[in-house]
Amino acid sequence: MQVYYMHKDGISAGSSMFTLLINITCVLFVTITLSLFNLIFNYQYMTPGLLVFFIFGTFINACAIILFSIAMFSEKTLEKIVNFVKRIVTRHYEKKIKRIEKLKLPHAEALINRAKNKSEARIAKIDEQADKYKEDAKLLKQNKKIIIKTTIIYYFQYSLYYLISYWAYRAMGLNEQTWFAVTSLQSIVYATVSGIPSPGAVGVSEAAYIGLFKNIIPEHLISSITLLVRCMSFYLFVAIAGIVVIFAAIKSNSKSKKENI
C-alpha cells in the first residue's frame, strides 16, 4: 500500500522499496535492542511459554534484519531476485502467446506481437527499477549517517509508543509502578508478538499483555487496560487508515469520472 501511494506521488518503485527496507530494518533493530535491554529488569515476570515466544520473535526479527540488509546491499542477491521476477514475467507472456496460437484467431499475429511488446516493456521496466535501487544503495553507503539518524528517531518514536500502556495504567487510577516499569514490559510484549505471522498479532498480543502485566496490574483491571491499550495502539490506527483509504478511493474515482467526461 505504501509503495502504491509513493508511486502515485511520483516516487519510483525501486526507491520506494529501498526506503521501506531501510525503515523496516531500523524498526526491527530498535524493537530487538529495546526488548533485550528491558528484559534485564523484567526477567522474573517471564513465564516459560512467554520466554519461548520471546526467543522465537527475536530470532525471526534478527533473521529479517540480516535478509533485508543483504537485499539492500548485496548486488548478487539483487540480481538473483531481479532475474527470478523477470523469469516469472517472461513465462506469463509465453503462456499467453501459446494460448493465442492454439486459438488460431484471424488477428493472432497482432495479438502475439502485442504480448511480446508488453513482455519486453515489463522487462525493461524491471531493469530500470533495479538500476534505481542500486543507485539508492550506493547513495546510502556514501551517507551512512542516514541509518544512524533514522534509528535514533525510531528509538524516540517507539519509546513514546510504549508509553501508551503507562497512560492507560494511570487512567485506571493506578500509580504504584513507574513509567519505566510499565513501558519496559510493553516493549517486551511487542517483541514477543512481532514475530507471530498473524495480522496485527490479534489475540496473541492480548494474551501476552495479560500474561506479563498481570504481575503489576490488579486482576479486576487487567482486561480493561488490555482492551484500552490495544484500542489506542492498534485498532485506532486501523480505523484511521481505513477511513483515509476510503476517502482516497472516492477522490480517485471522482477524479477519473471527471477526466472521462
Taking the C-alpha atoms of residue 191 and residue 214, their distance in angstroms, rounded to an integer, is: 18
Q: Is residue 256 part of a domain?
A: no
Closest CA to 57 of 261, 195, 180, 248: 195
- DSSP tag of 44: G
pLDDT tens-digit profile of 9-25? 777 666 777 778 788 88
C-alpha cell at 159: 519509546
Domain enclosing residue 179, as ranges: 2-251
Q: Would residue 51 count as lying in a domain?
A: yes
Q: Is residue 260 in a domain?
A: no
CB-CB contact of 125 with 14 (8 Å): no
pLDDT for the residue 47: 83
More confident residue, 144 or 105: 144
Q: Using CA atoms, how far apart are residues 187 and 89, in angstroms rounded to an integer?
A: 42
Do 51 and 98 touch, CB atoms closer than 8 A? no
> Is residue 215 in some structural domain?
yes
In tens, the pLDDT along 62-84 reads: 888 887 777 777 777 778 878 88
In a domain, 257, yes or no: no
> Does residue 258 sit within a domain?
no
In the three-class reduction of DSSP (H, G, I as helix; E, B as strand; rest coil), residue 10 is classed as coil
Q: What is the pTM (predicted TM-score) of this model?
A: 0.72
CA distance 119 to 122: 5
Instruction: Give the chain's domain count.
Output: 1
| 259 in a structural domain | no
* Residue 77, in any domain of the structure: yes
